[in-house]
Structure 1
């Protein structure tokens, strides 16, 4: 009798294991693969204070970027240009609270990096969109936008993964970057990197689509990025979700996520080669990029100044705009020069 019970228990365990494997293999395939419906006409998405710029990538075709610009009062011909680069899942509206005060210093340009905000939602394919979410493509789009808008040299202001892009631009095109303002730059990535064959599995593709929909619908990173989520008003939440108005946004987000699963962040190994003057800022309550990681990045840069802002999270430009502008103004007034080895992280 005992043997029979043990045999039945073994059969039950095997059955549970088999069912678990079947569920793992088949379950993701039940996720609806049809992309989100929405607007496809740029004209219908126009908003006060921003517009759309078509840029032609080197391999042909055109990508439409959602761009907001502020210019200084009076003659701003000699004033510097600031280009604002948002982070993962966010858009140009993350900079709203510092664009006007920053425009007192010079021309300010912010844009939605694809596939976020109201910029294009390309999918990987042939021609111009063969690999739209490679790091090299993001860098090429930034440089092409600067050329299109007639910007020869700019301060790059980057938050999180936007800080990563700013650093890569300073490394590849130092003559185009006058200075860097890095708010919690995403430098020391600890996420796993998966083999391409695993990412290409239909199950992984569907799970990636589900993750994209969760991140883009519920916007959980917005709350997590604040030290005090109670500071987020409904207008800010609405602006964070403007991508939902566009068709195929979820498929485009999923394509970016899939690319990131095989694309490691390697800029940390090259920081010592970037001598562009840099202001590196962390929020003391940042739960996404630990302040210690941001301090380490500042110390690795040859010409960096470090600042920690109390009571601020991962989006200090939103949560603590006055503190951010105070430290930027102080840094700009010091006007560090490229290659000046006097500056050090402190």
Structure 2
């Protein structure tokens, strides 16, 4: 118990007891706070049908409604896979030029764009936000659209999915274009972070944290993705914000962030026998240029192209420089 100073009338608490009280108080705040703290609701969501473009299409693949766009006809068939926080929009400046050479299909990966976002408890098999599921989804989309074989064009995290698809289904992939691809090191939570993310507190509060993508953190990520951010227009910003207007986008993004992506695909690059085009911006601040150089060096049949004065999204920032090497590459698959 504390001791009383009879002259002052003040009860003095032993220092260790005082600090113990503070620790208990902090633990109560940490453990109970996220369970009782009111979480402000998102703005009223907009129906996916109302956000869709005139050329938007939807198809059910592995029990998920997948949003995609298709242009062109004939061979070769190109499947375009966007990166983190992006959507089919990232290809809008190059889609028509690519479609002049064959069939081009761009789709939104789960957690992004206008593709359906399953909620926790709604799936019984593979987590739809995992890489393994998205590899299955890519092949499933090809099956649904009667595509036997395709060239996969993957940007950033989409490059990791493209490469894993080629490794798992080499008979379905004729070639790879890897654009500032995130394949040397994985991402996502690990260790104690994943344990914390699965506590009741974080399951409730985590989606609120994911909303930072709609704020300054998201803006900073976009700015870091460009060499010259003055080229990023109001139209671009509106397109990126579109996927943040659908129902439960924050929950889906939180689920995506929890998936274990601690891979290092560089050790498997020697298994890729198909020709690969590796493209990177020389000022990529998201995926270091050295990683693209390492990847190209380890691939048995790769050509590396570095675009000057270009950042992480060359298909958006530098389409005129991006297209020639890609068109030259896909020319080898034309019949």
Give the TM bin, normalised by the shorter chain: 0.7 to 0.9
Whole-angstrom distance in 1 between the partners of 2:299 and 2:29: 48
What per-residue deviation string (whole Å, max 9, x for no partner) do you get for residues 152-211 of structure 1?
A: 111100001100000001101111111111011111226552255333112333453133
Which residue among 295, 298, 302 is the counterpart of 1:297?
295
Change (3 A) 1:51 1:194: same
**Residue matched to 2:276:** 278
* Shift in Å, 1:141: 0.8
- Is it true that 1:134 corresponds to 2:130 in the alignment? yes
Aligned pairs for 1:287-326 within 5 A: 287-326=285-324
- Which residue matches 1:342? none
Tell me the distance in 2 between the aligned counterparts of 1:130 and 1:172.
16
Q: How does 1:1-346 map to 2 (within 5 A)?
A: 17-29=23-35, 30=37, 32=39, 37-40=44-47, 42-55=48-61, 57=62, 62-71=63-72, 76-77=73-74, 79-127=75-123, 131-189=127-185, 191=187, 193-194=190-191, 196-218=194-216, 219-220=218-219, 221-259=221-259, 262-333=260-331, 335=332
Cα contact 1:277–1:336 (8 A) shared by 2: no
> Cα RMSD (Å) of the superposition?
2.6
Per-residue CA shift, 1:280-337, capped at 9, x if unaligned? 111111111000011111111111111111111111111111111022123334x389
Counterpart-to-counterpart distance in 2, 1:336 and 1:150: 18
Shift of 1:52: 1.4
- Structure 1 residue 20: deviation in Å? 4.1
**Aligned pair in 2 of structure 1 residues 49, 200: CA closer, same or farther (>3 Å)?**
same
Asked if 1 retains the 8 angstrom alpha-carbon contact of 2:293 and 2:304, the reply is: yes
Of 133-142 and 192-201, the range deviating more from structure 2: 192-201
TM-superposed deviation, 1:102: 0.8
Counterpart CA distance in 2 for 1:177 and 1:322 is 26
Take 2:149 and 2:241, find their aligned partners in 1: how far apart are those partners? 31
SS in 2 for 1:306: strand
TM-score for the superposition, normalised by structure 2: 0.86
CA distance in structure 1 between the aligned counterparts of 2:303 and 2:99, rounded to whole angstroms = 22
Structure 1, 158-167 or 307-316: larger mean CA deviation: 307-316
> Which protein shows a greater Rg?
2
Q: For 1:178, what is the secondary structure of its paired residue?
A: strand
Does the 8 A contact of 1:89 with 1:216 survive in 2?
no
Count of matched residue pairs: 319
1:84–1:108 Cα contact (<8 Å) kept:
yes
Contact 1:122-1:129 at 8 Å conserved across structures: no
Deviation at 1:89, TM superposition (A): 1.1
